[in-house]
């Protein structure tokens, strides 16, 4: 089995999901081939829950990695990343391949841009910054 897929499936077993019981694992492969895992970490204040994808990417950034080749998300039914995770993946990784895998081993692969077809990114921020820098004339 592909080591990135195996890492995501293994990370799923470490999920802290006492409320939803929905365990998710993720693994990101860096440009140099390092694989870094993450799992969802739930909080009783649901809005503070951290998704597996963001845990994996945060751990990779913490270890000094800046460039990524792929990401895998493993869940019971091959769920797609939430909107926040799609945005963070785009911001940190660009249009990288993402593989979704369920507990039976069924896989679906695509580019993150397929899941986030009109991303908000630094191109949008420069427009906002320009507006704040040069207020409209009255």
Residues taking part in catalysis: 53
Reduced to 3 states (helix: H, G, I; strand: E, B; else coil), residue 124 is helix
Reduced to 3 states (helix: H, G, I; strand: E, B; else coil), residue 108 is strand
Helices 83-93, 52-62: axis angle to 10 degrees equals: 30
Read off the pLDDT of residues 78-129 as tens digits, 9 standing for 90 and up.
Answer: 999 999 999 999 999 999 999 999 999 999 999 999 999 988 888 877 765 5
Read off the pLDDT of residues 20-70 as tens digits, 9 standing for 90 and up.
Answer: 999 999 999 999 999 999 999 999 999 999 999 999 999 999 999 999 999
**Complete domains list, the chain, with CATH:** 3-133 (3.40.140.10)
Which regions of 19-105 does DSSP assign to beta strands (E)? 25-30, 35-39, 68-74, 97-101
């Amino acid at each position: 089995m592909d080591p990135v897929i195996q890492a995501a499936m293994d990370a799923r077993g470490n999920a802290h999901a006492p409320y939803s019981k929905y365990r998710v694992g993720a693994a990101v492969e860096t440009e140099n081939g390092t694989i870094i895992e993450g799992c969802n970490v739930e909080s009783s204040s649901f809005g503070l829950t951290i998704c597996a994808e963001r845990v994996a990417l945060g751990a990779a950034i913490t270890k000094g990695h800046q460039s990524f080749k792929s990401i895998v998300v493993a869940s019971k039914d091959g769920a797609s990343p939430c909107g926040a995770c799609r945005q963070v993946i785009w911001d940190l990784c660009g249009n990288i391949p993402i593989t979704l895998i369920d507990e039976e081993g069924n896989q679906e692969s695509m580019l993150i841009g397929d899941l986030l077809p009109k991303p908000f990114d630094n191109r949008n921020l420069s427009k906002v910054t320009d507006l704040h820098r040069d207020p409209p004339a009255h």
